[in-house]
């Protein structure tokens, strides 16, 4: 009788052990992380610290030459992976058969993409059991594409946020898993809003992944009728059109901070010089002269627009350090006339 009871207890303990082992296997999620810039590092770091997630590989863009000497600089994600002994791949393309087979052999349950820099081909999208989860810094379907934060600020949006979605073959067109609204402050820049994304995003991604894995949330198709599209900014997008309203120029300057920055052409002794306008303030002065006309009042620098004058607070002559408008006036006041 006692022997039979002992056997039953041992069997019961084995069942408990099997159940715990099954739960542990279920909770541990194997992941391949795709990312490249500094923005992606806090997301990878948070996932790497989580016991329930196993980073099987990190995939980043190849090193790119920087500067006049074309020095090969590793991406921030590559540096993080190497510093934390994570397996790293840097394929020139994801379309080759060899890289497909290598990714397939890892047998990860989920791929996670944060600012990788390229679209994933269909055969790779179809590999993981839980699909490919992407982090996009806007409230989709608004501001699809590569420049959602600058566009939100440039267009005067009062809020933007984070979208966690499943990737399909389109550009940010896949079904949504979760949205997080983040207010855009009155003096928001792309730099400051990116810091909000870095602060709030990693934990939001982690919780969304867990809920999705546990079946607590279901993908919801986007409303394509509400979609707007952004494009990759170029240096030319930063050029200021002084014929616009002061508010529009102010938004542009904040949206283009840090890239591509906002700039104008200043004629110094007949020589055109690129001048970066870093910070401005809208004044109550009505513009009474042609747009782009410059004037100085009480050691302050102003530029006429289509409606109100803008006060220039900080600026930078190309190739030199950032200076205040007062420093600029004292150094170059006799050459001020017009910004193009």
**Annotated binding site, which residues?**
138-141
Which tokens hold the place of 39? 């923005």
d(CA 183, CA 193): 9
Contact 220, 212 (CB under 8 A): no
* 3 state SS of 37: coil
Q: State how far the Cα of 95 lies from the Cα of 50, in Å rounded to an integer.
A: 31
Q: How many CB atoms lie within 10 A of CB 297?
A: 11
Instruction: Give the pair of three-digit tokens for residue 333.
Output: 């006041």
- Binding site membership for (6S)-5,6,7,8-tetrahydrofolate: which residues? 138-141
H helix runs in 240-324, sequence order? 246-255
CB-based contact 306:244 (threshold 8 Å): yes
CA 226 to chain centre: 21
């Amino acid at each position: 009788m006692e022997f039979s009871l002992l056997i039953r207890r041992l069997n019961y303990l084995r069942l408990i052990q099997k159940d715990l082992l099954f739960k542990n296997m279920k909770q541990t999620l194997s992941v391949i992380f795709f990312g490249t810039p500094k923005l992606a590092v806090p997301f990878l770091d948070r996932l790497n610290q989580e016991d329930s997630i196993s980073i099987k590989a990190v995939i980043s863009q190849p090193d790119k030459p920087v500067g006049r000497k074309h020095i090969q600089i590793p991406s921030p994600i590559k540096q993080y992976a190497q510093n934390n002994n994570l397996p790293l791949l840097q394929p020139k393309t994801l379309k080759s058969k060899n890289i497909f087979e290598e990714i397939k052999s890892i047998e990860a349950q989920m791929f996670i993409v944060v600012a990788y820099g390229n679209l994933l081909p269909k055969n790779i999208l179809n590999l993981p059991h839980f699909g490919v989860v992407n982090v996009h810094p806007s409230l989709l379907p608004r501001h699809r594409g590569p420049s959602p934060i600058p566009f939100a600020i440039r267009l005067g949006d009062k809020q933007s946020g984070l979208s966690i979605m499943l990737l399909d073959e389109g550009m940010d067109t896949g079904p949504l898993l979760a949205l997080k609204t983040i207010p855009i402050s009155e003096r928001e820049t792309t730099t400051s809003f990116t810091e909000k994304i870095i602060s709030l995003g990693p934990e939001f991604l982690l919780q969304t992944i867990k809920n999705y894995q546990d079946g607590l949330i279901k993908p919801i198709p986007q409303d394509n009728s509400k979609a707007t599209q952004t494009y990759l900014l170029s240096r030319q997008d930063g050029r200021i059109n002084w014929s616009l309203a002061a508010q529009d120029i102010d938004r542009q300057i904040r949206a283009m901070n840090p890239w591509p920055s906002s700039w104008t052409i200043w004629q110094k002794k007949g020589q055109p010089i690129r001048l970066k306008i870093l910070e401005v303030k809208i004044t109550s002065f009505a513009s009474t002269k042609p747009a782009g006309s410059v004037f100085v009042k009480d050691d302050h620098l102003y530029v006429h627009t289509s409606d109100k004058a803008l006060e220039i607070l900080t600026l930078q002559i190309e190739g030199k350090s950032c200076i205040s408008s007062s420093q600029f006036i004292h150094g170059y006041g006799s050459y001020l006339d017009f910004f193009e």
